[in-house]
Amino acid sequence: MIHAAPRLASIPWGYLMAGALLLATLLTLGLDIVLWSGQRFRPPPVSFIQGQLIYFAEMAMAVAYALMGWLLASRLPRNAIGWLFLATGLAMAAQMSSTFLVQQVHEAFRPVDTPVLLWAWAGSTLHLPATVVLLVYVFLLFPDGRYLSRSWRPAGWAALGGAALVCFTVGLAPEGLQWFPSLPNPLAAPPWLRPALPVTNLIGLALLVAGIVAATTSMVARYRRSASVERAQLRWIAIAVLLLTAAGVPFVLARYALALSYDSGELMLGIAIAAGSFLPVAAAIAILRHRLYDIDLILNRALVYIPLTAILGGLYTGGVAFAQRLFVAVTGDRSDAAIVITTLVIASAFTPVRNWLQTFVDARFKPVSSDAHSRHSPIDELSERVAQLEQRLDASLGQAKQD
């Protein structure tokens, strides 16, 4: 079992940096919501995305990665996994900011300012390849922040080199910005360099996909080599990695190598986002059910008190509004008594709601006992029985030959 080292967990800089990155992500998402609400939540002019659902899913995904990253980085600051999760969440939030700024410019019917155009260029060019690289290193380093062996290091370098070549190609494309086709590319390649761009794009994609596949293989190999307890901890992560690879590789190829319709591209992007969102969920399940990192109590409390705060806050806001309307209807005037009564009601509801949430979380994320860890999965039991039958058959054949 992988344990958290108290000596590392007590280092202040981990809490400070992780908290700062989490706060930056949440503030950026808040800015995104403000910008988008000012646009009445209309779909921005982005290729492959025609509806609002994708953006809500991306926001939820950014929050999931940021929260899980904060939990891991603040507890284990020298483990790279938490920082990779935090960087993924922040990158997604920042990319959406460029999207909504571009939408604001389009609605104002004015030329795009240079800072907005450069930010749009950065989001269109760097976001997807950089996110892929971050996830590749999560695949390679999860859960202890170390490679399975030194022989897996080239997988990370392949993904990094491939992403750099893809960014080089997309960043210099003369046709316009990859994700914002209505905007010109401020860094378009000169005519003499353009014939080389398809070649560099092909080489970059090949290296990037090879890195993803190798990193996925590393996670599968880590799972197969682990003991029973570690295998139980890694099972959900391995499933999430396989799902993300199966959904992500086709989308990356479609985005940079194929000419798909927007409807098909949006469907593939939605599937990739759903698969990517499962990775922090799988980490949460491994922590809560199988005591990965021994921080299950912290996450358990977070799953109780974060919804508790949201529920009570919503009840308080709605209760105050209802009570004020009731006082106006009865007395013809507003009264501070509405706030006092609502506060008392919410205070009395605190304990019952908390207990219900605690029971709900405990029932669905109850840690698996050590006895359950020691038992093999049905596949392992079947493999052992097949091996026993083979041994008995070999023994019977050997005895028959002797007779």
Q: What are the pLDDT digits (tens) for 274-283?
A: 889 889 888 8
Which range is least confidently modeled, 114-123, 202-211, 364-373? 364-373
Q: How many domains does the chain have?
A: 2
Query: Residues 114-172: pLDDT tens digits?
Result: 888 888 899 889 999 999 999 999 999 988 888 988 899 999 999 999 999 999 999 99
- Rounded Cα–Cα distance for residues 169 and 175 (Å): 11
- Residue 262 inside a domain? The answer is yes
Q: Could you tell me which residues are beta bridge partners of residue 49? A: 46
Query: Do 278 and 334 fall into the same domain?
Result: no
Cα separation, 155 vs 210, whole angstroms: 7
Look at residue 129 and tell me if it is in a domain.
yes
Residues 249 and 336 in one domain: no
Say if 313 falls within a structural domain. Answer: yes
- What pLDDT does 117 receive? 85
With beta carbons less than 8 A apart as the criterion, state whether 205 and 257 touch.
yes
pTM comes to: 0.73
The residue out of 262, 294, 326 marking a domain boundary is 294
Q: Is there a single domain that holds both residue 72 and residue 135?
A: yes
Specify whether 49 is located in the same domain as 167. yes
Q: Residue 307 domain-assigned?
A: yes
Task: Tell me, yes or no, whether 151 and 225 share the same domain.
Answer: yes
Percent of the chain beyond pLDDT 90?
26
Estimate the crossing angle of helix 114-141 against helix 80-108, to 10 degrees: 150
* In-domain check, residue 1: no
Neighbouring C-alpha atoms within 13 Å toward the C-beta of 52: 7
Last residue within a domain, chosen from 266, 294, 322: 294
**Range(s) of the domain holding residue 351:** 303-402
Q: Are residues 116 and 218 in the same domain?
A: yes
Give one word for 344, left, alpha or beta, with left for phi > 0 and alpha for psi -120 to 50. alpha
How much is the pLDDT for 202? 94
On whether residue 320 sits in a domain, the answer given is yes
CA dist., res. 266 & res. 257, Å (int): 16
Last residue of a domain, one of 242, 275, 294: 294
Q: Looking at the structure, do residues 250 and 392 belong to the same domain, yes or no?
A: no
Q: Mark whether 127 and 32 lie in a shared domain.
A: yes
Instruction: Answer yes or no: do 107 and 140 share one domain.
Output: yes
Q: What is the CB neighbour count within 10 angstroms for residue 111? A: 9
User: Domain check: are 272 and 359 in the same one?
Assistant: no
* Domain match, 383 and 280 both: no
Query: End-to-end alpha-carbon separation of the chain, Å?
Result: 50
Least confident of 52-61, 247-256, 364-373, 390-399: 364-373
CATH number at residue 159: 1.20.1070
Same domain, 270 and 392: no
